[in-house]
Structure 1
Amino acid sequence: MSTMRRRPKEDYQQIIHDYAKEGLKFIQIFAPSINGYGAAAYFEMIFERDA
C-alpha cells in the first residue's frame, strides 16, 4: 500500500474477479498488521473452492 496515496499497490477487486473466473469464491479480506501511519501494511484475502 502506498503511504502517500493510501491505495493498494494491486487492484484487489481485479484479483477477486480473476480468482472467481478460476472457480474460487471470495470469503474475506482483512488487514492483520498496521504500519506507522495507521493504515494496513498489507491485506490477506481468503478464498475457497468446492472440493
Structure 2
Amino acid sequence: MFEYKFVKIEFKKISGKPKEDYQEVIKSHAEQGWRFVQIFSPDSVTSGVAVGSYYDLIFERPVQK
C-alpha cells in the first residue's frame, strides 16, 4: 500500500515562471523517502488561450507502519 502527496507550485503572474524550482522540490522530497511519480500542469482558459497556472507534483511512498 502507498501513500500519496501532491505539491502545488504556482507560476508567477507576470513572468509565468514557477515560483519555486520544481527540480529542487523533487530532490528534497526524494531525500525524505518520496518517489516522484508525475508532474501535471492543468490548463485554464484565459481569453480563449489554454495556459497553465501551476504544476502539481505527485509523489508516492510505501505506507510506513
Category of TM-score, reference length = shorter chain: 0.7 to 0.9
Structure 1 unaligned segments of length 5 or more: list them.
none
- Which of the pair is proportionally richer in helix? 1
* TM-score computed with the length of structure 1 as normaliser: 0.77
Aligned CA RMSD, in angstroms, stands at 1.8
Structure 2 unaligned segments of length 5 or more: list them.
1-10
Please identify the structure whose Cα radius of gyration is greater: 2
Greater RCO (Cα-Cα under 8 Å, separation 6 or more): 2
- Runs of 4+ that moved beyond 2 A: 2-6, 33-39
Query: Paired residues, what number?
Result: 51
* TM-score computed with the length of structure 2 as normaliser: 0.63
- Which of the pair is proportionally richer in strand? 2
Percent identical pairs in the alignment equals 37
